[in-house]
């Protein structure tokens, strides 16, 4: 199996652990005593783990090897999903969410460097396919969650079945795992990596990615419950999220392909930023008026922002390993900060009885992203990141 196709198979497993939760909220609450804030932790914990894991994944890869780390991460995801079948309380759900997030982190920290090393000038296009696989996994999980629960007679089984997909990816990885770039064993490379933490542009990229992750995580966690509160059935709400994530797949392919045609990614970057802003404003103000149009805007917006934020991060250095280190830091800090959004939205729902102000806040963060994006002029990349 070609390395890029294998990376896509791995990417397919990076969202179902979270995406399958939202459409099953009512079944979970009917079975176990769990608040909206606790439900938010099922998205917040894995995203926090993804953030923390990105900081340590490269160091772990130096000790055990990147191929082993990715294989072990796939096993962690499979184990976390499978254990949901046996769990009977909130604690099991929270623990498995955390374990899955750690597994996801190990993969996300290493694959961008692999893609840049092997794809070179075609990196935006290949990143688009990798991100499309991630979004595709979310779309399948959201769309099929209620159906699988009906077929198996258990929401636990619906969540656990995704562990089989992770197991298949693990077996494929073990059989034909690609050689990943050397993560660096000498002190000079470690010192160069550590120096990135002192560079302002790296943290600007981290803030940008955190705002992107905030919108994605909040929509993933709360869009189905939001529309179920407006009278939608869980199957219809799950289909809505599935439609949104399917559009994210399309946007994740098309927009990076457009971005590949020019060194300055900003004109393309403002397409998903505009769509996201409009989508969040409509979701806040008139969610009932045109839900499918709203989710179309959000699908294009969130689906395009995720790969483009990674591409812009990797653009900041021509060396694959250096670019991978920058991207790992941006993802680590970004996921750590972005993880708080679903929890904050859950608390807002518990205290105010609705999610409307959460969507308004996300519209504001999208405006902030647009201001930050203006600074991503490729003519200055060689000066803002020092070697």
**Contacts of 359 by beta carbon, 8 Å cutoff, 6+ apart:** 280, 281, 283, 284
Q: Which domain holds residue 250?
A: 191-378
Q: Answer with the one of 146, 177, 208 that is the final residue of a domain.
A: 177
Cβ contact 41:94 at 8 Å:
yes
Kindly state whether residues 243 and 134 are assigned to the same domain.
no
Residue 138: the pLDDT is 83
Kindly state whether residues 318 and 240 are assigned to the same domain.
yes
As given in the structure block, the two tokens for residue 116 are 């840049």
82 within some domain:
yes
Residue 189: the pLDDT is 60
Please choose, from the candidates 308, 343, 372, 41, the residue with its C-alpha nearest in 3D space to the C-alpha of residue 214. Answer: 343
pLDDT digits (tens, 9 = 90+) for 2-46: 667 887 898 999 989 988 888 888 888 888 888 777 877 887 788
171 within some domain:
yes
Least confident of 45-54, 150-159, 231-240, 299-308: 45-54
Angle among Cα 12, 77, 169 to the nearest 5 degrees reads 45
Cβ contact 311:126 at 8 Å:
no
Kindly state whether residues 330 and 364 are assigned to the same domain.
yes
Kindly state whether residues 285 and 220 are assigned to the same domain.
yes
Residue 226: the pLDDT is 92
The four Cα atoms 290, 296, 299, 305 give a dihedral, to 10 degrees, of: -110
Please choose, from the candidates 164, 371, 171, 142, the residue with its C-alpha nearest in 3D space to the C-alpha of residue 273. Answer: 371
Kindly state whether residues 162 and 200 are assigned to the same domain.
no
The pTM of the full predicted model, rounded to 2 decimals, is 0.75
Residue 183: the pLDDT is 46
364 within some domain:
yes
Work out the pLDDT band at 276, boundaries 50, 70, 90.
very high
Kindly state whether residues 1 and 29 are assigned to the same domain.
yes
Q: What CATH number should be reported for the domain holding residue 208?
A: 1.20.1250.20
Task: Provide the domain count of the chain.
Answer: 2
Cβ contact 35:350 at 8 Å:
yes
């Amino acid at each position: 199996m070609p390395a890029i196709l294998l990376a896509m198979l791995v990417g397919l497993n990076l969202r179902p652990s979270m995406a399958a939760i939202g459409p099953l909220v009512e079944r979970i609450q009917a079975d176990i005593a769990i608040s909206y804030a606790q439900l938010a932790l099922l998205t917040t914990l894995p995203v926090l783990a993804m953030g923390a894991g990105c900081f340590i994944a490269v160091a772990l890869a130096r000790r055990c090897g990147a191929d082993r780390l990715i294989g072990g991460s796939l096993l962690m995801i499979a184990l976390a999903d499978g254990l949901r079948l046996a769990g009977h309380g909130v604690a099991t759900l929270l623990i498995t969410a955390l374990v899955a997030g750690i597994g996801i982190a190990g993969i996300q920290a290493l694959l961008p460097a692999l893609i840049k090393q092997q794809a070179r000038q075609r990196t935006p296009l290949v990143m688009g396919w990798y991100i499309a696989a991630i979004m595709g996994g979310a779309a399948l999980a959201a769309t099929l969650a209620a159906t699988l629960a009906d077929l198996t007679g258990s929401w636990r089984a619906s969540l656990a079945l995704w562990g089989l997909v992770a197991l298949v990816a693990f077996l494929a990885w073990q059989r034909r795992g690609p050689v990943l770039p050397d993560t660096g064993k000498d002190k000079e490379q470690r010192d160069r990596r550590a120096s990135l933490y002192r560079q302002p542009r790296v943290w600007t990229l981290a803030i940008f990615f955190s705002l992107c992750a905030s919108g994605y995580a909040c929509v993933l966690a709360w869009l189905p419950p939001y529309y179920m509160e407006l009278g939608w059935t869980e199957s219809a709400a799950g289909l809505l999220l599935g439609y949104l994530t399917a559009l994210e797949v399309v946007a994740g392919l098309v927009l990076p392909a457009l971005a590949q045609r020019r060194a300055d990614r900003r004109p393309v970057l403002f397409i998903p930023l505009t769509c996201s802003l409009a989508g969040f404003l409509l979701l806040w103000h008139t969610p009932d008026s045109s839900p499918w149009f709203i989710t179309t805007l959000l699908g294009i917006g969130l689906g395009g922002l995720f790969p483009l934020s990674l591409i812009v991060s990797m653009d900041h250095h021509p060396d694959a390993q250096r670019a991978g280190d920058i991207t790992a830091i941006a993802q680590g800090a970004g996921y750590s900060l972005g993880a708080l959004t679903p929890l904050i939205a859950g608390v807002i729902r518990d205290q105010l009885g609705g999610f409307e102000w959460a969507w308004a806040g996300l519209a504001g963060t999208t405006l902030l992203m647009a201001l930050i994006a203006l600074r991503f002029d490729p003519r200055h990349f060689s000066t803002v990141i020092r070697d």
